[in-house]
Amino acid sequence: MNFKRHAATLILGLFCGAMQVQAAAPPPAAIAPLQLTLAIKAAKAAMAACVKEGLTVTVTVTDREGVARVVLLGDGTGALSVITSRRKAYTAAALGMTTEQLVKNLNGANDLSMIDPELVALAGGIPILRHNVVIAALGVGGADRGDADVVCAQAGIDAIKDQLD
């Protein structure tokens, strides 16, 4: 898994012109992973931001390896939003950058399946950093309205950012 992650980061970094090796490298042992209570708080805040706007979404928070820890499904969400929210979070965790930035860096070349079939170039995934090291990621899927996935995901991050240090 680590080889695949490092290879994907290197290839995407070279392709995109923005190396993110520091964020993708395994974090030092002294940096603790995101506590479950904070993951839940971030997910709830992201969901609340979307509900407030009348959006039906799924919110996923993953650990630093991209494994789902919290998944909140909004009323009436479909399977696609569950899949995309998880893959957005996975991508942000694996690459150490927002999926919105990834989309910009790729400049239209969005096929990442040759690198890792779980990577997705759709905005709405944000890495969660502690001391500039990825400790988790949050992904929102299903808003289907402009940058709403990004706005909701950022609301989740903002809800816990003061508790990350």
Domain boundaries, the chain: 2-163
Which H or E element spans position 63? strand 58-63
pLDDT of residue 14: 45
* Per-residue confidence band for 75, with pLDDT thresholds at 50, 70 and 90: very high
The amino acid at 151: V
- Asked if residue 114 has pLDDT above 90, the reply is no
Q: What is the mean pLDDT of residues 43-59?
A: 97
pLDDT in tens, 82-111: 999 999 999 999 999 999 999 998 887 767
17 or 142, greater pLDDT: 142
Query: If pLDDT is split at 50, 70 and 90, which confidence band does 139 have?
Result: very high
The pLDDT value given to residue 50: 96
pLDDT, averaged across the chain: 86
Spatial separation of the C-alpha atoms in residues 156 and 165, rounded to whole Å: 16
When mean pLDDT is compared across 9-18, 55-64, 136-145, the lowest value belongs to 9-18
Q: What is the DSSP code string of 82-132? A: HHHHHHHHHHHHHHTS-HHHHHHHHTT----TTT-TT----S-EEEEEETT
CATH number for region 2-163: 3.30.450.150
pLDDT band at 8 (very low <50, low <70, confident <90, very high): low
Determine contact, residues 60/139, Cβ cutoff 8 Å: yes
Residue that has been written with the tokens 């957005």 in this structure: 88
CA quadruple 153, 141, 144, 45: dihedral sign: negative
Do residues 24 and 1 lie in contact, with contact meaning Cβ atoms separated by under 8 Å? no
Task: State pTM to two decimals.
Answer: 0.82
Residue bearing tokens 């395994």:
26
**Which amino acid type is present at position 54?**
G
With H, G, I as helix, E, B as strand and everything else as coil, classify residue 152. helix
| Residue 13 or 147, more confident | 147
Give me the pLDDT at residue 162, please. 95
CA angle 6, 31, 131 (to 5 degrees): 85
Rounded to an integer, the average pLDDT of 53-58 is 96
pLDDT of residue 30: 73
